[in-house]
């Protein structure tokens, strides 16, 4: 049925359903989907045909006709048996191809939406929860095709075809089969879906909690152990996993009840076929051979509807996953339109600037600042006072709470992505090191530069001797997330990568963290005085005013980022 033929209120409710919206976002190719439904219907049709033909062959053979009268049926049995496997394989191949391509396109679309969205969209999401939504939840939407839509369409097609066949042999048998299929195909899925809904929604929340707690334990095990919080976080992870297991168990119970209903409906269909078939065969209205076919046909016809309770349970899980993904997309308001302006130079000016994370209290207010090209700025203060927040605001990644900050006369948060990347480089304290060579980690910033340039950048952060002493020099492979380098080495590698961008404005977040006092002073001195022609802003715990042209001192705040 086309949605346009439905009443407006019903059509609006259908279109607003998370599963329907997710299917639209998957953007499934209709001809491929039709091919998958066709192959699945042929596979199940072969099963029904095999049962009917086998029943006819056995019953006809009992009458001892000439063997040539059975040859066509024998060939059909073999062909239907082979065809069932072949078409099932084709259906699996096509349906998974359609589903996985749709998931890839959906994930790309979500990434693009978040990249173009206002920062507040994901500012308050825990990293594990964000990973769960972009990972497991998006992957779960593939089941909308493979385990929900496809089984439902195949069951509908083959069910109608089987009822037509049974009706052609005996109308009363067709009516009995249709009623039994309706009970199993509608009642059982409704029972499974309604009972599983609460459990599956809870399971979706539990999966997000498991992902978030797992990442927290894995990424911060050392820090948590030192703070005495590791055991508590492990207990929280175990509790989240227990909730997930309980939700899975609750979801399994209605699925079992629904399957029992399918078996009861199947038994009723067989018994009903016998009840209406025996008198018809006795009266001569139905041949003995066709009576056997009518009696055994329900056994094959129910193979399609038997998958519908599981499909209903999968639909509940997919709807919960779709709701979480759509909440992320819908909650990502598009950033303000970019006004294409060409900055006049790289002078940074702030007027009446107040900074803070979206939805939180400002951590700094009333800042006036002028940084001419080549100037250096030190942002000092204790941990948690908002130094990183100020840097992110200067980089244009967080909009100002109040006031303005411009680069070359253009508000920095209104610059296009390409303009911002060309003007401002940020070395964040949580920047990522990839599991590849040191050379390729540095080349992320500037492409195919030669080793001399890379070593020069490493020299600016005091790592030239360290890099040359590595077993394979710049070709040494770093572990996943830089786990085989120290905290200080990791920070300085991120700074070197920022310097290699060639951006005239460089923002550095705690580049001397994890270094002793002497090494930290040397690195800061090199960064603030050795980068000719660039504007450098450094967030640091240290307050040596002699190292910078200007200093912004930030006081502790009640709630800072």
Instruction: Assign residue 372 the CATH number of its domain.
Output: 3.40.50.300
User: Are 479 and 358 in a shared domain?
Assistant: yes
* Average confidence score pLDDT of the chain: 80
Would you state the pLDDT for residue 297?
A: 87
pTM of the model: 0.61
Beta bridge partners, 380, equal: 540, 553
- Residue 2's pLDDT band, with cuts at 50, 70 and 90, is very low
Query: Mean pLDDT, to the nearest integer, of 118-143?
Result: 68
The pLDDT tens digits of the residues spanning 511-555 come to 766 666 666 666 677 666 656 678 888 887 765 555 677 888 887
CA angle 174, 180, 95 (to 5 degrees): 95
> Higher model confidence: residue 381 or residue 50?
50
Is the distance from CB of 391 to CB of 507 less than 8 angstroms? yes
User: Are 112 and 71 in a shared domain?
Assistant: yes
Q: Which of 301, 330, 359 is the last residue of a domain?
A: 330
- Residue 182's pLDDT band, with cuts at 50, 70 and 90, is very high
Distance CA 512, CA 517 (A): 9
Distance CA 462, CA 172 (A): 89
Residue 518 belongs to a domain:
yes
Would you state the pLDDT for residue 558?
A: 37
Is the distance from CB of 370 to CB of 315 less than 8 angstroms? no
Query: Mean pLDDT, to the nearest integer, of 374-398?
Result: 83
Q: How many domains does the chain have?
A: 2
User: Are 252 and 147 in a shared domain?
Assistant: yes
- Residue 324's pLDDT band, with cuts at 50, 70 and 90, is confident
Q: Is 70 exceeded by the pLDDT of residue 483?
A: no
Q: Is 90 exceeded by the pLDDT of residue 258?
A: no
User: Are 388 and 321 in a shared domain?
Assistant: no
50-59, 71-80, 183-192, 207-216: lowest mean pLDDT where?
207-216
Q: Is 60 exceeded by the pLDDT of residue 190?
A: yes
3-17, 273-287, 345-359, 403-417: lowest mean pLDDT where?
3-17
Residue 205 belongs to a domain:
no
Query: Mean pLDDT, to the nearest integer, of 348-369?
Result: 84
- The top-scoring range by mean pLDDT among 133-137, 277-281, 376-380, 480-484 is 277-281
User: Are 295 and 392 in a shared domain?
Assistant: no
Query: Mean pLDDT, to the nearest integer, of 467-473?
Result: 87
Q: Is 60 exceeded by the pLDDT of residue 499?
A: yes
Residue 407 belongs to a domain:
yes
Would you state the pLDDT for residue 177?
A: 92
User: Are 92 and 155 in a shared domain?
Assistant: yes
Q: Where are the alpha helices (DSSP H) in 65-149?
A: 68-115, 127-132, 138-140, 143
64-78, 105-119, 405-419: lowest mean pLDDT where?
105-119
Would you state the pLDDT for residue 1?
A: 39
Distance CA 505, CA 373 (A): 8
Give Dmax (Cα) for the chain.
Answer: 111
Residue 235 belongs to a domain:
no
Instruction: Assign residue 291 the CATH number of its domain.
Output: 1.20.1560.10
Q: Is 405 helix (H, G, I), strand (E, B) or coil?
A: strand
Would you state the pLDDT for residue 332?
A: 59
Distance CA 218, CA 131 (A): 14
Q: Which of 299, 330, 361 is the last residue of a domain?
A: 330
- Residue 560's pLDDT band, with cuts at 50, 70 and 90, is very low
User: Are 416 and 296 in a shared domain?
Assistant: no
Query: Mean pLDDT, to the nearest integer, of 345-369?
Result: 83
Q: Is 90 exceeded by the pLDDT of residue 271?
A: yes
Q: Is 60 exceeded by the pLDDT of residue 120?
A: no
Would you state the pLDDT for residue 559?
A: 39
Query: Mean pLDDT, to the nearest integer, of 307-330?
Result: 81
Q: Which of 302, 330, 358 is the last residue of a domain?
A: 330
- Residue 142's pLDDT band, with cuts at 50, 70 and 90, is confident
User: Are 31 and 78 in a shared domain?
Assistant: yes
Distance CA 316, CA 198 (A): 9
Residue 559 belongs to a domain:
no
User: Are 363 and 430 in a shared domain?
Assistant: yes
User: Are 275 and 310 in a shared domain?
Assistant: yes
Backbone angle region of 557, left / alpha / beta, with phi > 0 → left and psi within -120 to 50 → alpha: beta
Q: Is 80 exceeded by the pLDDT of residue 474?
A: yes
Domain hosting residue 426, numbered range: 348-553
Residue 2 belongs to a domain:
no
Q: Is 90 exceeded by the pLDDT of residue 123?
A: no
Residue 206 belongs to a domain:
no
Would you state the pLDDT for residue 561?
A: 40
Q: Is 70 exceeded by the pLDDT of residue 6?
A: no
Residue 82 belongs to a domain:
yes
Q: Is 239 helix (H, G, I), strand (E, B) or coil?
A: helix
User: Are 299 and 376 in a shared domain?
Assistant: no
User: Are 74 and 168 in a shared domain?
Assistant: yes
> Higher model confidence: residue 446 or residue 37?
37
Q: Name the token pair of 270.
A: 């067989």
- Residue 204's pLDDT band, with cuts at 50, 70 and 90, is low
């Amino acid at each position: 049925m086309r949605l346009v033929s439905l009443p407006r209120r019903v059509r609006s409710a259908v279109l607003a359903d998370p599963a329907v919206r997710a299917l639209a976002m998957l953007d499934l190719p209709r001809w491929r989907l039709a091919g998958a439904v066709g192959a699945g219907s042929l596979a199940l049709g072969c099963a029904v045909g095999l049962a009917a033909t086998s029943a006819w062959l056995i019953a006809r053979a009992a009458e001892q006709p000439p063997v040539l009268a059975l040859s066509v049926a024998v060939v059909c049995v073999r062909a239907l048996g082979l065809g069932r496997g072949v078409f099932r394989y084709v259906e699996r191949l096509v349906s998974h191809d359609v589903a996985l391509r749709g998931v890839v396109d959906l994930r790309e679309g979500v990434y693009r939406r978040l990249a173009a969205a206002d920062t507040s969209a994901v500012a308050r999401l825990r990293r594990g929860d964000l990973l769960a939504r972009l990972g497991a939840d998006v992957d779960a939407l593939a089941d909308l095709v493979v385990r929900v839509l496809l089984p439902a369409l195949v069951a509908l097609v083959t069910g109608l075809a089987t009822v037509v066949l049974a009706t052609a042999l005996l109308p009363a048998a067709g009516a009995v089969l249709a009623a039994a299929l309706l009970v199993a195909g509608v009642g059982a899925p409704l029972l499974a879906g309604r009972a599983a809904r609460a459990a599956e929604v809870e399971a979706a929340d539990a999966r997000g909690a498991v992902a978030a707690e797992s990442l927290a334990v894995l990424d911060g095990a050392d820090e948590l152990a030192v703070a005495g919080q590791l055991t508590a976080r492990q207990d929280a992870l175990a509790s989240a996993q227990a909730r997930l297991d309980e939700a899975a168990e609750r979801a399994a119970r209605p699925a079992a009840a629904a399957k029992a209903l399918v078996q009861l409906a199947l038994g009723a269909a067989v018994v009903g076929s016998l009840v209406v078939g025996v008198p018809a065969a006795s009266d001569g209205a139905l041949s003995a051979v066709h009576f056997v076919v009518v009696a055994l046909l329900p056994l094959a016809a129910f193979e399609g509807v038997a998958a519908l309770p599981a499909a209903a349970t999968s639909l509940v899980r997919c709807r919960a996953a779709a709701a979480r993904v759509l909440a992320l997309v819908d909650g990502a308001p598009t950033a303000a339109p970019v006004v294409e302006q060409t900055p006049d130079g790289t002078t940074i000016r702030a007027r009446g600037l107040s900074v803070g994370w979206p939805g939180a209290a400002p951590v700094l207010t009333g800042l006036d600042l002028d940084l001419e090209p080549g100037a250096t700025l030190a942002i000092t203060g204790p941990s948690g006072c908002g130094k990183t927040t100020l840097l992110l605001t200067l980089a244009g990644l967080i909009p100002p709470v109040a006031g303005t900050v411009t680069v070359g006369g253009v508000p920095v948060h209104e610059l296009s992505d390409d303009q911002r990347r060309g003007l401002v480089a940020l070395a964040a304290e949580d920047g990522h090191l990839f599991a590849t060579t040191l050379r390729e980690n540095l080349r992320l910033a500037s492409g195919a530069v030669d080793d001399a340039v890379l070593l020069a950048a490493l020299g600016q952060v005091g790592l030239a001797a360290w890099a040359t002493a590595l077993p394979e020099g710049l070709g040494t492979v770093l572990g996943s997330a830089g786990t085989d380098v120290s905290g200080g080495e990791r920070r300085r590698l991120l700074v070197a990568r920022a310097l290699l961008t060639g951006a005239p404005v460089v923002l550095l977040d705690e580049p001397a963290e994890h270094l002793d006092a002497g090494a930290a002073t040397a690195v800061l001195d090199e960064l603030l005085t050795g980068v000719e022609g660039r504007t450098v802003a450094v967030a640091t715990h240290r307050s040596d005013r002699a190292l910078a042209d200007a200093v912004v001192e930030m006081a502790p705040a009640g709630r800072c980022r």
